[in-house]
Every structure is written in structure tokens, then in C-alpha cells.
Amino acid sequence: MVDEDNFMSVDEYMRTHTPDVFAVGDCAQKRDFVTRRRVPTMLASTACAEARIAAMNLFNLHVVKTFIGTIAIYSTAIGDIGFGTAGVTEMRAKEEGISTLTGIFEGVDKHPGNLPGAHTQIVKLISAKHSGVIIGGEVIGGPEAGELTNVIGLAIQNRMTVNSFLTAQIGTHPCLTASPAAYPLIKAAEKIAIQMLRS
Ligand SMILES: Cc1cc2nc3c(=O)[nH]c(=O)nc-3n(C[C@H](O)[C@H](O)[C@H](O)COP(=O)(O)OP(=O)(O)OC[C@H]3O[C@@H](n4cnc5c(N)ncnc54)[C@H](O)[C@@H]3O)c2cc1C
């Protein structure tokens, strides 16, 4: 059975309406993790996550192994600048009637920032206004931007809050990461926390 957008209808175990038939990947219906709306997000990374869920449930439903919605996580590079986005944008949240707070931090992806090959690194986090649950984020930086975006994706999937970022333990190295005192994910969360305190 296909839905009105021609995606194969599936449940959280990736089962179609036909007994013993599963659907994953671009052909399978998607629902946004945050908004719960149907979305046409077609990504190999999503397809693989869905395939793992389907495989885990082929012969026996492992009740906790369900696909809980698509977190659109994209990254790309133009020259040596990396870009990434995960979850909902501020604009999408507004369209859905979700009140948000945002924190943007601009730092450097090595420390000290004058090391050769250091890139400016900009991280934006978007949280639901009252709960502080992280629902989206964006990164512009060097080659690490893709993996940093994936960390934001994991935070969204695990419904991490601004407070959990503030207390997060991170590993840093001068040649590989921002400084522990100016780690962009934590500093962006700090900017939101300040607004939460004031509101
Ligand atoms: C230009 C481009 C760039 C992309 N970049 C990214 C990226 O950076 N990151 C990312 O996560 N995703 C990216 N994607 C999306 C990603 O490629 C798809 O989401 C992913 O390949 C979907 O996997 P799938 O297995 O559902 O379908 P497919 O990979 O399309 O596989 C379907 C297979 O079924 C075969 N097939 C079709 N009909 C039949 C038939 N009747 N009988 C037998 N076989 C059939 C096809 O030949 C194909 O091999 C990109 C897509 C495009 C087009």
C-alpha cells in the first residue's frame, strides 16, 4: 500500500501492510522525528538505519528496536569548508508552532586558533523553548563539521537538553578539536541557557 505521496506505508518496525514484507530506504514512508509530519527525506544514512531496524525485527519483534522518526541529517563541503544540519531548522519549527530558543557560537576548530589549518567553527543549536530539548542544529567549519553535525543528531535522537550539554564530558586535543573552554556545542548551549534563565 502506498500513501498519497507514493511512499510505501510502513510502521515503526518497517513492516508494510503485506504480511512478511518490509520496506526501507527511499521507497519507504518517513515521519519527522520532531514534528511527526510525513517528510520526503531520502538519505542513504536514513536508509541504513531503517534497514538495521528491519533486520532486527525480521523474525521476531524486538519491541524496543523501532524506527522513531527521521532526523534529517545532511552534510556537505565546498572546498575545505564543511556544512551540516540536523533536525528541524528555526523556520521549520516556527511553521510547526514550536517555540524555540537558539544559541550560536563562533570559535575555532583547533587550539590555539593560530595553529596551521585551523578553521572558524560556527555551531547553532535550536532547543524547544520551555523544555530545553535540543531539536536541531547547524554547523559550519572544517572537515570535522560532518561529525559534529552527527553529534547533534545523536543529541536530538536521545532528546538531550541544554542542561545535559552544559554538563557533557568531551575529549579535546589541540590539533583535532576546539578548546575545552570554548567547545562550540557547549558554548552554544550556554547561550540558550542564559536566555532560559532570563525568560
Ligand atoms: C546525487 C545524489 C547524492 C546523494 N548524496 C547523499 C549523501 O551525501 N548522503 C546520503 O545519506 N544520501 C545521499 N543521497 C541519497 C541516497 O543515495 C539514497 O537515499 C539511497 O541510495 C537510498 O537507498 P535505497 O537502497 O533506498 O535506494 P537505491 O540506492 O536507489 O537502491 C535501489 C536499487 O534497486 C534497484 N532497482 C530498482 N528497480 C528495480 C527492479 N524493478 N528490480 C530490481 N532492482 C531494482 C536500483 O537499480 C538500485 O540499485 C544522494 C542521492 C543522490 C541522487
Whole-number Å distance between alpha carbons of 159 and 170: 18
Q: In which band, very low, low, confident or very high, does the pLDDT at 66 lie, cut at 50, 70 and 90?
A: confident
The finding on whether 190 has its CB within 6 A of some atom of ligand 1 is no
8 Å CB contact between 141 and 79? no
Q: Do 30 and 77 belong together in one domain?
A: no
Of 96, 94, 87, residue with least CA distance to 139: 87
Predicted local distance difference test score (pLDDT) of residue 65? 81
Average pLDDT, the chain: 95
Q: Is a pLDDT exceeding 80 seen at residue 63?
A: no
CA of 7 to the centre of ligand 1 (A): 14
CA of 40 to the centre of ligand 1 (A): 14
pLDDT tens per residue, range 145-184: 999 999 999 999 999 999 999 999 999 999 999 999 999 9
The finding on whether 51 has its CB within 6 A of some atom of ligand 1 is no
Predicted local distance difference test score (pLDDT) of residue 60? 86
Quick check: bond before 112 cis, omega within 30? yes
Q: Do 34 and 94 belong together in one domain?
A: no
Pairing of strands 134-141, 120-128: antiparallel
Dig out the grid coordinates for 117 from the structure: 589549518
End of a domain among 43, 70, 97?
A: 70
End of a domain among 28, 47, 70?
A: 70
Q: Which residues on adjacent β-strands are paired with residue 106?
A: 122
Q: Do 131 and 100 belong together in one domain?
A: yes
8 Å CB contact between 17 and 1? yes
Ligand 1 atom with minimal separation from the 42 CA: 19
Portion of the chain with pLDDT greater than 90, in percent: 93
Q: What is the pTM of this model?
A: 0.91
Predicted local distance difference test score (pLDDT) of residue 93? 97
Q: In which band, very low, low, confident or very high, does the pLDDT at 185 lie, cut at 50, 70 and 90?
A: very high
Whole-number Å distance between alpha carbons of 32 and 197: 30
Q: Do 21 and 100 belong together in one domain?
A: no
Q: Do 177 and 137 belong together in one domain?
A: yes
The finding on whether 146 has its CB within 6 A of some atom of ligand 1 is no
The finding on whether 25 has its CB within 6 A of some atom of ligand 1 is yes
8 Å CB contact between 174 and 184? no
CATH number, domain containing residue 51: 3.50.50.60
Alpha-carbon torsion 106, 153, 100, 193, what sign?
negative
Domain that holds residue 138: 73-198
